Amino acid sequence: MQKKSEIYRGKSKTVYCTEKKDFLIINFRDDISANNGMTIQKFDGKGKINNKINYFIMTTLQNNGIKSHIEKQISDSEILVKNLKMIPIECVLRNRSAGSLVKRINIKEGIILNPPIFEMFLKSDIVNDPMINESYCETFGWANKHHIMTMKYLTHKINNILNKLFHDIGIILVDFKIEFGLFNNEIILGDEFSPDVARLWDITNMRKLDKDIFRQNSTGIIQAYELVANRLGITFS
């Protein structure tokens, strides 16, 4: 399928239409952003690594019964995906306390959350992606009861699969953010799963292997993302 015009440029990915309206091409760029896009930097090779990690995770989820928008990898940094009607909600799952949760309720980082916490945030940069609930979704028409129930169910199911996957390679899945969309009226996993949208800690020393390295102005982000990819068994030729 051919890449046609650019239809959306996000903070780290660009979306193109194709000659078929049901399919899009996503390009993973080397850009990384923090502070709601206020801080942006480029790291050579990040797009390729994230494209590979995302493809691996989405395929693993697909093999475990979770439908995703992924069709196929078409180059080092590009994938062909189904054109979903995206639901403007970020679904966050937390196995341990970190990030905004730590600030919101003033607890220590790293506390095991049992049962894991499910949260929803509105995708809206103008108001800094505020936390929302089911009542907001229904009233403002962002998603109906059935959509929310399905997204919550799928997010927990995805957590069960990925928690084990990462645990088996010596990585703690602290938290992650995923997004869903509709394709022929069915809720399908869209967007991406990579160290840009998840917190991943090395079990042996609690070292951060994710975007927090950039958020906290540390070094070695590419090496950390590569380590995640290598442990997942992903090779770079």
Contact positions vs ligand UDP (CB under 6 A)? 90, 92, 98-101, 129, 175-177, 197-199, 211
Whichever of 2 and 35 has its CB closer to ligand UDP, that residue is 35
Question: Which residues contact residue 192 at a Cβ distance below 8 angstroms, ignoring those fewer than 6 apart?
Answer: 13, 26, 28, 50, 54
CB of 223 to ligand UDP, least distance (A): 19
Smallest distance, ligand UDP to C-beta of residue 199, A: 4
CB atoms within 10 A of CB 219: 9
Nearest-angstrom CA–CA distance, 188 and 183: 7
CB of 65 to ligand UDP, least distance (A): 23
CA distance 15 to 120: 24
- Tally of helices (H runs) and strands (E runs) in the chain: 6, 15
Q: For ligand UDP, which is the closer residue by CB, 13 or 48?
A: 13
Q: Going along 89-129, which residue ranges are E strands?
A: 89-96, 112-122
CB of 197 to ligand UDP, least distance (A): 3
Of 101 and 188, nearer to ligand UDP (C-beta) is 101
Considering the complex, state which of residue 26 and residue 98 has its C-beta at the smaller distance from ligand UDP: 98
Which two tokens mark 162? 């990925």
CB of 230 to ligand UDP, least distance (A): 21
Of 45 and 99, CB closest to ligand UDP: 99
How many alpha carbons fall within 13 Å on the CB side of residue 207?
14
> Cβ of 45: how many Cβ atoms within 10 Å?
14
Residues 90, 75: Cα–Cα separation, whole Å = 27
Note whether 25 and 7 are within 8 A (CB).
Answer: no
Min dist CB 184 to ligand UDP, Å, is 27
Question: Please, which residue, 119 or 226, has the CB nearer to ligand UDP?
Answer: 119
HSE of 189, CA atoms in CB hemisphere, 13 A: 28
> DSSP secondary-structure letter at 166?
H
- As measured in angstroms, the least distance from the Cβ of 98 to ligand UDP is 6
Task: Write the DSSP symbol of residue 208.
Answer: B
| CB-nearest residue to ligand UDP | 99
Nearer to ligand UDP, 114 or 185 (CB): 114
